[in-house]
Chain A
Amino acid sequence: MATKAPLPPRGVLSLWTGTPMFRPHRGALLVTTLAVSLARRVFPEVEFVTDTGGAFLARLLGWQFGQVNLALDRLNDPGLAHIWALGKFYALLEQSGPCVQFDGDFLIFKPLRAKFLEGRLVAQSPDYPAFYRGPAMERGREILGFTDPNLPAYNAGVLGGRDVALVHDYAFASIALAEKFRDLDREVNGTATSMLVEQMHLGVFARRRRAAVRILLPESPTRRQVALAGISHLSGGNKRHPYYVERVENRLRREFPEALEEFESGWRVMEGKAPGWLFAAAHCERQGKLSSPPSNVFAFDF
């Protein structure tokens, strides 16, 4: 009896603009433009799970997706707003089939290995244990009960898997853990919290559920291994560093000139605007109060 070929996974990008951790930086948005353009080449479909602000941003900057899902509009709890990884968990819960969620700074230059995509749970690589030390991390680990010094953590530049139920279980459990950090942003900052409930929790969850996490790369990959995997992860400040922004721009110019042109045209509208502009413009548009983006916003009422 012929077996059916497994469904190729959907590519998923999430962006929660409602978290105070989101800042529209030109370099970071340019990297996401390249990430989206590349992902469309390797996934049969790419879904964008976001909020109203994110959907507006995508239209303005010319990001093209098979589907745009506004599930993150429901995230409006100020006590948890600092935990930016929440957007990723809710994006996973929106999936009803195998998926690979990639970060906006994760570039996929060639199709991901079939063996990797068969994983029930998948992630980029083991993460460096040193990243989970320091006062904020120790306090966060204490809150979660993750005090074993040998707990594994995974870099979630890509995150997802073939086992939808398992992926959902992980996402639900992560959301529950995030609750423990309600209103604790002064004690444990949003980035440390997000790394713990997403990346370290993935290691803890996989261990408890006795599920292997398929990885693309080892903890300290060689350049050859990285070249074979065909990915770049411009994590942290690298996506804003002029050295990498210039390279990303050159790559877009060579391979996706229309995408670069659309980005530049949209960025010219956004550049120099007040911090609340994106949020206000998106909501005005949604309420039908605008036919084109406003030049600026000085005051708004909701």
Chain B
Amino acid sequence: MSVPVLIKRRTDPLEIAAHVEKLARRYNLGTVGLTGRHAIGVARESDPLEIFVVVPLDAATMFGAALAEAFCGWVHVYDCNLVSWAHSLHLCVRWLNVDALPVVECPRGAVTVWTLEHEGGTVSARVALESVPHFRPVDNPRPKPRGAFSRGFGPPPVGGFLV
């Protein structure tokens, strides 16, 4: 029986990515993406882990629970194919186990404005969405189907790792 591994450094992107990769392989999810604050190393202890998957959410149930247990906290799993191009989660994704990047349509010519804090001040930068690796610019992106695009897992039950 394999024992769930604890992610010891809960805000370290590299440690988290290694665990996410391993679990995604174990549960045959293919390409997954570590996103949100944990992907860019600015997460606080209390921030949930945010993961893109390219399979239906039902197929990621075991993965989500296992990751929540290893992470000892909340995990939000998003179906990348159902999350609107306008969602900020698309902007900083650390893709793992990549066999093929997902393709998300975005409006041709769209830009996003990033506000960064730097040395006590703020800096704005305009970034073309076409520069995001998994975005494909089109003239009229198809609207996403309505419905749930994410699922939350956790926090893990007390002593779940002992079962």
Whether the Cβ atoms of B158 and A244 lie closer than 8 Å is: no
Min CB gap B3→A, angstroms:
10
Whether the Cβ atoms of A223 and B65 lie closer than 8 Å is: no
User: Which A residues between 236 and 273 are near B, CB-CB below 8 angstroms?
Assistant: 236, 238, 241-244, 246-248, 250-251, 254
Q: A231-B162, A232-B157 are in contact. List 16 more A-B contacts (CB 8 A).
A: A226-B158, A226-B161, A226-B162, A227-B162, A229-B159, A230-B162, A231-B158, A232-B159, A233-B158, A235-B157, A236-B157, A238-B160, A242-B61, A243-B61, A246-B62, A254-B1
- Which residues of B are found within 8 Å of A232, using beta-carbon distances? 157-160, 162-163
Task: Take A243-B65, A250-B1 as given contacts and tell me if A238 and B159 are in contact as well, using a CB distance cutoff of 8 Å.
Answer: no
User: Which B residues between 50 and 96 are near A, CB-CB below 8 angstroms?
Assistant: 61-62, 65-66, 69, 72
- Which residues of A are found within 8 Å of B103, using beta-carbon distances? none
Return 30 A-B CB contacts under 8 Å, by A number.
Answer: A107-B162, A221-B158, A223-B161, A226-B162, A229-B159, A230-B162, A231-B162, A232-B158, A232-B159, A233-B157, A233-B158, A233-B159, A234-B157, A234-B160, A234-B163, A235-B157, A236-B157, A238-B160, A242-B62, A243-B61, A243-B62, A243-B65, A243-B66, A244-B65, A244-B163, A247-B1, A248-B163, A250-B1, A251-B163, A254-B1
Q: How many angstroms between the C-alpha atoms of A236 and B6 in the bound complex?
A: 22
Nearest chain B residue, comparing its CB with the CB of A247: B163
Min CB gap B73→A, angstroms:
11
Residues of B whose CB lies within 8 Å of any CB of A are 1, 6, 61-62, 65-66, 69, 72, 156-163
Nearest chain A residue, comparing its CB with the CB of B159: A232
Nearest 9 pairs between A and B by C-beta? A232-B159, A243-B65, A238-B157, A247-B163, A233-B158, A226-B159, A234-B157, A232-B162, A243-B62
Q: How many angstroms between the C-alpha atoms of A109 and B160 in the bound complex?
A: 12
Question: How many residues of chain A get a CB closer than 8 Å to chain B's CBs?
Answer: 29
| Most A-side CB within 10 Å, residue of B6, B62, B159 | B159
Query: Cβ of A60 < 8 Å from any Cβ of B?
Result: no
- Which residues of A are found within 8 Å of B158, using beta-carbon distances? 124-125, 157, 217, 221, 226, 231-233, 235
Min CB gap A279→B, angstroms:
30
- Which residues of A are found within 8 Å of B157, using beta-carbon distances? 232-236, 238, 244
